[in-house]
Structure 1
Amino acid sequence: MMKAIARLPIFWQTLLLLVAAVAVVQGVSIALFLYSPPPRPDFNRLSDIAETLAGRRLDRRPVRMPQIGPLGEPRDIMRQREDRQERQQRQERGNAVRERALSVATIPDEPKPDPDMVSDDVFTDRLASMLDVGDGDVRLFFEADQRSNMPWARERNVLIRRGEPIFFDTVVAGVRTADGWRVVRTPPRPFLPRWQRQMLQLFAISALVLAPFAWAFARVLARPIRRIAEGADRMGANPQAPPIAEEGPAEIRTTAHALNRMQDRLGTYLTERTNMIGAIAHDLRTPLARIAFRIEGAPDDMRQKVQGDIEQMRAMIAATISFVRDTGRSGPMGPVSLDALIADIAATEAEQQRPVTAGAIAPITVQGDPMALRRMLQNLVDNGVNYGGAVEITLARVGHMAELRVSDRGPGLPPDSIERMFKPFERGDPSRNRTTGGIGLGLSIARAIAQEHGGSLALKNRDGGGLAAVACLPIGD
């Protein structure tokens, strides 16, 4: 199933994800609507206020009711039904945790109303009658309910049920006692009522249920895009890199196919170009040999100068052929121990009495062509010895990369000419002439080999003088 979805176009995958998300959210909303009880508003009856002020349960006084109910019911039947409803509601209220339960306090002075509160003499007299005290010993203030649907209406009422007022908003009531005033108050409304918190919890659960599916869809969409980006990066570093896998949505497969075709065309172009350069360099050997043969009869001073130029041209041609032959053509890849390679080259250099030493070397293995990596390191060592004198080689692990440094204490390079040193046949300052080094292909070959292995090569001036060639190669698993 997932494989079939992964091959769909990105448009349809995104549409499926959005439809699934909407379906889950709507399913949760419908379930809440069908199975969740409606939120019951928190309120206080006048009798609740009286019982809290008295600190005990009071007997209910009968309320005059009409003999016949509004629907024509007999008085007794209607009273029985309402009494059952009231008992059930009181039982529910007793079992539930009240969010705005009345708080009780004793203060020396009589309670004062809040700015938006009003008072009603009828309700105050009724409360005094319930408490069996005089009217002057009772205070009752409340925020009346806004019953009108019009936002600009100013009509304010209190809901009356069976002759007893019900207060949905804040109430302040007090009764005079021997110790002062016993005051009850409705606490402020919570920022989120209980039923809203329950709704938010259920919606959070639905989001958690949807999250794994969204994560799976996102991975299905992102994996081929990430692979095609990695493949394009490998292709930019090494034209001979393996082709990009053509998988995933239709758009990604089309892009991967186009990149693979571009890589094939670029590879063909580079092969033809290098073959042409190699053929030209090879063919130049013949006229050079004829020139060398014909110059034999020339005067000694002229013959020696021309012979020097011929040898120089032969060296350049040989280096060019080697550069064309070795770059862009990787040998068999396998695990290569860089620390062993460095130790071998350092030992060989010591036998030839060249100033090459191995510094801090970490045991690191990479995947690569051992012959190409040896040539890269040898070129860096030769470049450092020829132009910087003594050379020190170090190897360290930096994240998932192996950092190989070949450092010298030579004159260094101007910062604006460091990158130019990697161009073929490019040489540095005049002291770097052909008598002290090659023809300017060593660094170009070394960088090409590093890039073919998915790495990089850079030159950096050292503090205190000198130059460091830093090659970074990915570490194989």
Structure 2
Amino acid sequence: MRFRSLPLFWQTLILQLGGLAMALLVSVLLIIYLPAPRPDFYTMTEIAERLAMEPGSDGKLIVHRADAPPLAEDGMISDPRITQRLANQIQRPTDDVRLYFQADQSEVFPFTRQPGSGAVPIRHGQPYFFNTVVAAERDPAGGWRVLRTPPPSHISVWQQRTAIWFGLSALFMVPFAWVFARRLTRPIRRFAEAVERLDHDRDAPPVAVEGPRELEVAAQALNAMHGRLRVNLRERAAMIGAIAHDLRTPLARIAFRIEAAPEKIRGPVQADIEQMREMVAATIGFLRGDAGTGERQPVDLAALGRRLAGQASDTGSPVSVMEIERAVVNGDRSALERLIQNLIDNAVKYAGAAELSIRHDIDRARLIVADRGPGIPDNELDRMFEPFERHEPSRSRSTGGLGLGLAIARSIAQAHGGSIRAENRAGGGLAVTVDLPAAA
């Protein structure tokens, strides 16, 4: 079984074990190739020899003159036996010698301490100092000659090398971690994109069955559900077509029989019949859900908007073009024309006039149809895109239609991978904004 087809549990476990193995490998290489840490230390002989020299520094130990003997600093101790060793080594009386030091830790150096050593490792009679030491001897000429070891570094050379080694190892692992993360998340991202396409386009290709086992199962279930939905939609369309066919026949008979009726009766009934035909046609067109399923081609929204605005103005509908930028989208030309026309008709019906704007924003084309009407309460804005929803509750043809215009517009926008929203304008009126993906 391929790695990418394994369940997410096993992929994650393998990645974690791989990272742990790499960390252990780095630790082993660190132990093998880096030299063992050698702590800085000073022997009694080095201190005695440097104390006998003239004041100054030899790069490690510093000697200076002082009028009074030094005192023990915080954390320092003094051992008479160790001080006696220093006095014997520099051949001076014990009263003329001072020695203070910080106690050493037993694990620092593998020397066995001798009894009475004063927390300083001693080997072959030679004390070893690993921390700060202050030594002094009385100068026959007056004053004191004081030696002080430099304070230990907060980060030793070996620690610096270790940090660099781990840093380079982590840097070396970054490309592998990036590749593994990409391999793990790419199928999830593709799955999400495919689901998004199915949400906007019912005729989108099935979701690819790939990636971890969990995604394969989810993709198979989603494809099966999508297939069942398409079958249901086809059955619904067939049923609605049959209903439409059956309705046309009695409507035609009523229209034929009403011809012999008096004009006072015939006129209103024929108007009702025509209204019923329009309502049936509009309802069937919406329920079939065929908006935006035509051939996709580059469509210039600016040219389409100017043409529709001009046609509306020629028929007496006040439609003004506020701002037009060239914006090309890939889509069904007739469906996009219907979308713009529905928004213009909706603004003209309910507000008396429409204002059209088209803008191009990076990778999006934005269409705005606004009006200066009374607007809609904010809590009802989203409901206006639902089928058969109207802010004006009647279904009178004189005050509007069935409430399908905005619902069809939303269906077309979603079929093209876009979105639609409505908001009240600050100065009064309503603005409907459609965002569509712009063509490359």
Q: Same fold (TM over 0.5)?
A: yes
Tell me the CA shift for residue 136 of structure 1. 4.1
Runs of 4+, deviation exceeding 6 Å: none
Please point out which of 449, 453, 459 is paired with 2:412.
449
Tell me the number of residue pairs that the alignment of Structure 1 and Structure 2 aligns: 431
Within a 5 Å distance, the mapping from 1:53-452 to structure 2 comes to 53-55=51-53, 101-102=60-61, 109-128=68-87, 135-147=94-106, 157-175=119-137, 183-298=146-261, 300-325=263-288, 327=290, 330-398=293-361, 400-429=363-392, 433-452=396-415
User: What root-mean-square deviation, in Å, do the aligned CA atoms of Structure 1 and Structure 2 show?
Assistant: 3.2
> TM-score, length-normalised on structure 2?
0.86
Deviations 1:125-173 (A, max 9, x none): 4434555655444321112234499xxxx99521123322111223222
Distance 1:344 1:21 in 2: 63
Distance 1:242 1:179 in 2: 100
Tell me the CA shift for residue 108 of structure 1. 5.4
Q: SS at the partner of 1:284?
A: helix
Distance 1:331 1:353 in 2: 31
The one-letter amino acid paired with 1:6 is R
Distance 1:47 1:464 in 2: 94
Distance 2:190 2:413 in 1: 22
The one-letter amino acid paired with 1:162 is H
Deviations 1:367-395 (A, max 9, x none): 21122111111111111122123322222
Please point out which of 29, 52, 74 is paired with 2:27.
29
**CA distance 1:180–1:430, change in 2 (3 Å):** farther
Tell me the CA shift for residue 311 of structure 1. 2.5
**CA distance 1:356–1:174, change in 2 (3 Å):** farther
**CA distance 1:130–1:364, change in 2 (3 Å):** farther
The answer to whether the 8 Å contact 1:281/1:320 transfers is no
Residue of structure 2 in register with 1:44 after alignment: 42
Deviations 1:186-209 (A, max 9, x none): 455444332223222212222222
Q: SS at the partner of 2:255?
A: helix
**CA distance 1:252–1:325, change in 2 (3 Å):** closer
Deviations 1:250-306 (A, max 9, x none): 332332222112111111112222332233234222222223333445555444443
**CA distance 1:444–1:117, change in 2 (3 Å):** same
Tell me the CA shift for residue 358 of structure 1. 2.4
The one-letter amino acid paired with 2:19 is A
Moved more, 185-194 or 414-423: 185-194
Moved more, 464-473 or 351-360: 351-360
Distance 1:360 1:426 in 2: 30
The one-letter amino acid paired with 2:184 is L
Q: SS at the partner of 2:283?
A: helix
Q: Percent identity among equivalent residues?
A: 50
**CA distance 1:363–1:297, change in 2 (3 Å):** closer
Tell me the CA shift for residue 408 of structure 1. 1.0
The answer to whether the 8 Å contact 1:145/1:156 transfers is no
Distance 2:398 2:131 in 1: 99
Residue of structure 2 in register with 1:5 after alignment: 3
Q: SS at the partner of 1:342?
A: helix
> TM-score, length-normalised on structure 1?
0.80
The answer to whether the 8 Å contact 1:458/1:470 transfers is yes
Tell me the CA shift for residue 328 of structure 1. 5.1
The answer to whether the 8 Å contact 1:459/1:470 transfers is yes
Moved more, 440-449 or 390-399: 390-399
Moved more, 26-35 or 292-301: 292-301
The answer to whether the 8 Å contact 1:295/1:303 transfers is yes
